[in-house]
A and B are shown apart, each in its own frame.
Chain A
């Protein structure tokens, strides 16, 4: 199990949504292009839920990738 996977599981276990926003972005940035939108979406949803400051930037990335309506 990679360190990132372990940290993600730990964040899920503790419902640490701020950590989930950061960790899924980290996963997106290190993922193959085909998987990137999945991880960005995960980060975006937790950012939306928590009113996280990164929500707008994450949405913009997804819109640019054609994965979220403009």
Chain B
């Protein structure tokens, strides 16, 4: 395959082109980006609320890899490769509670919820559970680096990214006022959208406010284009903010409680940020949300939406209204991301051009992807 030319993507926005079609349609480029962009960085896998209690285990398929999200007996959320160190058997094939140890269903090697290999039955022959060369302390579950922030489980598959707190220090500081316990709203506060587009199109659309008056006309009544501002942090995140967030209010006047101690800016501000590569976050005075994008192929993406609140006891009806409100907004975006995906099969499309005034956050994401892929393609890196 001829490698895509990414230099035009990294030009200044006024002359830049978007990523070439192959980055949305080609299986080989999808795999290249899997390694260069998703595995090498801190990517979103799911939410800690997926495993709320010690022993809860959830198998996940991420980029074709079988992973296991598990809350250990001490309450620490961990991510493992979901395979036994003996014969590579899948350990957990459906969400369940690990009561004691994690037993491989094949030859019954057992692991603690912290990943230690604790039993190797009959490994030295019937009734003999040790064998020369089978060093249990060397054969624990293969753990993936993980970190919890904003309720999201972030993983670094390559294992060599900077620590999460350092990598995202700027974003963590930006939203320090939301550094408080986040309570997932529960079953009525999550939904999944399966979308026929490349995962990057969901990021690109989320980053910018340019489309709001056309795709989300319901927002025009109170949130006009000029009420929004760009958020741009090269190589880390980009998005948009609004100065006119209006709280959801029930007919009886009820609202959600605010996060404690917020500055007055947040009375009417809200921010929507794509934390590269695949997590879309939103914060408001009274709730936050996370959208974890799981790439399922060059042209398929699963969007997991989760809503969080500053307090564990929120009104169920109000929560349901909030979920429904956001579902309408996110569903309104589907036709554009799927339309852009179909558009990527037009051979004459050159990646498109950007509005210098309105597309800065989107161009920043394109330029970042291009830089990461180019870095991955350099001979020195390839040799590693």
Contact = CB atoms under 8 A, between A and B. Distances in A.
Contacts of B64: none
A39 B129 CA distance: 12
Given A55-B100, A69-B136, A48 B118 contact: yes
Contacts of B102: 49
Given A38-B122, A38-B126, A40-B127, A45 B100 contact: no
Given A36-B127, A51-B99, A51-B100, A41 B110 contact: no
A47 B110 CA distance: 11
A68 B100 contact: no
Nearest to A52: B100
Tell me the dominant secondary structure on chain A's binding face: helix
Contacts, number: 53
B110 A49 contact: yes
A41 B100 contact: no
A41 B136 contact: no
Interface string A41-61: 110110111111001000000
B172 interface: no
B110 A69 contact: no
Nearest to A66: B128
B103 interface: yes
A35 interface: yes
Contacts of A36: 127
Interface string B118-162: 110110001111100000100000000000000000000000000
B126 A48 contact: no
Contacts of A47: 100
B304 interface: no
Contacts of B100: 47-52, 55
Contact of B129 (A51, A52, A67): A67
B108 interface: yes
Interface in B67-125: 99-103, 108, 110, 118-119, 121-122
A8 interface: no
A44 to B, nearest CB: 7
A23 interface: no
B103 A37 contact: no
B101 A41 contact: no
Contacts of A69: 129-130, 136
A37 B121 CA distance: 10
A49 B108 CA distance: 9
Contact of B119 (A37, A40, A44, A52): A44
A40 B129 CA distance: 11
Contacts of A42: 121
Contacts of A44: 119, 121
Nearest to B130: A69
A67 B110 contact: no
A55 B103 CA distance: 14
Interface in A3-54: 35-42, 44-45, 47-52
A62 B119 CA distance: 12
Contact of A41 (B99, B103, B122): B122
A3 to B, nearest CB: 23
A37 B101 contact: no
A37 B127 CA distance: 4
A45 B126 contact: no
A50 B136 contact: no
Given A55-B100, A69-B136, A48 B127 contact: no
Contacts of A49: 99-103, 110
Contacts of B101: 48-49, 51
Nearest to A68: B129
A41 B121 contact: yes
A21 to B, nearest CB: 11
A-B pairs with lowest CB-CB distance, top 7:
A37-B127, A51-B100, A38-B127, A49-B103, A48-B101, A38-B126, A51-B99
Given A47-B100, A49-B102, 5 more contacts: A36-B127, A39-B127, A44-B119, A51-B99, A69-B129
12 contacts: A38-B122, A40-B127, A41-B122, A41-B127, A45-B103, A47-B100, A48-B100, A48-B101, A49-B110, A51-B100, A55-B100, A69-B129
